[in-house]
Amino acid sequence: MDNSRPVVCTLTAADKRDRGGAWAKVLDSGLVTRERIPRGIAFRAAPGASAALVELVDLERECCAWIDFKVDQDTVTGGTNVFLTAEGEGESVLAGMFIPAS
């Protein structure tokens, strides 16, 4: 049985462009790494980018109910770890959103 939720984003086209720009700014800062994990994506933010990453995650929670979010603090580095996961087709959609094509 597939328990995945429909992959639906509630943002308008203009808001999607703005959000994409915000993600690009954070991810291109050199302070956030990302990698594929089972069912999704893991982000690791240095302390200087943690607040911006968490703010984006909070915004994503509002428009993408199909994503499961987990945020925790890295007690060693002082940074933030964020895990975005999804079931079913959501996993490949997450990869398409956040992992650059090779």
| DSSP letter, residue 47 | H
- Please, which pLDDT band fits residue 5 given cuts at 50, 70 and 90? confident
- Please, which pLDDT band fits residue 100 given cuts at 50, 70 and 90? confident
Distances (CA, A) of 38 to 2, 54, 83, 94, 99: 16, 21, 10, 11, 14
- Please, which pLDDT band fits residue 1 given cuts at 50, 70 and 90? very low
Do residues 78 and 47 make contact, with C-beta atoms less than 8 angstroms apart?
yes
Spatial CA neighbour of 94 closest among 83, 102, 84, 82: 84
**pLDDT computed for residue 3 by the predictor:** 65
12 vs 96: CA distance, rounded Å: 19
Burial profile 55-77: b = 16 or more Cβ within 10 angstroms, e = fewer = ebbeebeeebebbeeebeeeeee
Summarize pLDDT for 9-68 with one digit per residue, the tens.
999 999 999 999 999 999 999 999 999 999 999 999 999 999 999 999 999 999 999 999
**pLDDT computed for residue 101 by the predictor:** 72
83: β partners: 42, 70
